């Protein structure tokens, strides 16, 4: 695999990470499976969920205003059909009913997404995404 192929894979996979957060912020949960392999999983709080189960869970969340900020992915593995990496994220959350700009008291959570990507007939997709919380807002 040459450098251009590696760069293309990195770009496509990082775009999936960014898009996933954006769709969550926009509460477009039904669009999330398009970013995943059919057997894709999302692990949160140590519990691995299928995408239908993850969507059912996230749809129960209060209508908070959120923003996910993600870094570029640090890839530990890249080959023709799969890739693995870690992406840092910061989640901001506001649960009030004011209009923007919303009050800000710092991030709600800072963590890492441990991600596996797979090349499919429909392009690169997320095979698994595990959210690991590193810092959380104190109550």
What are the extents of the domains in the chain?
Answer: 3-136
* pLDDT for the residue 112: 98
Distance of alpha carbon 118 from alpha carbon 36, whole angstroms = 9
Distance of alpha carbon 84 from alpha carbon 52, whole angstroms = 23
* pLDDT for the residue 105: 86
* pLDDT for the residue 121: 97
| 33 secondary structure, DSSP code | G
User: The whole model's pTM is what?
Assistant: 0.93
CA distances from 44 to 77, 104, 112, 114, 134 (A): 23, 25, 11, 11, 13
* pLDDT for the residue 138: 86
- pLDDT tens by residue, the chain, 139 residues: 899 999 999 999 999 999 999 999 999 999 999 999 999 999 999 999 999 999 999 989 898 999 999 999 999 999 999 999 999 999 999 999 899 999 988 999 999 999 999 999 999 999 999 999 999 988 7
CATH number of the domain located at residue range(s) 3-136 in this protein = 3.10.450.50
Distance of alpha carbon 121 from alpha carbon 104, whole angstroms = 42
């Amino acid at each position: 695999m040459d450098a251009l192929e590696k760069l293309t894979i990195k770009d496509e996979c990082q775009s999936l990470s960014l898009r996933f957060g954006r769709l969550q912020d926009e509460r477009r949960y039904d669009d999330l499976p398009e970013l995943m392999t059919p057997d894709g999983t999302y692990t949160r709080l140590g519990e691995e969920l299928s995408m239908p189960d993850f969507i059912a869970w996230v749809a129960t969340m209060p209508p908070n205003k959120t923003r996910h900020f993600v870094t570029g992915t640090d890839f530990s593995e890249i080959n023709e059909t799969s890739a693995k990496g870690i992406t840092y994220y910061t989640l901001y959350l506001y649960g009030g009913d004011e209009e923007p700009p919303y009050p800000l008291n710092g991030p709600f959570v800072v963590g890492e997404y441990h991600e596996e990507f797979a090349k499919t007939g429909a392009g690169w997709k997320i095979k698994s995404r595990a959210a690991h919380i590193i810092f959380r807002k104190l109550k």
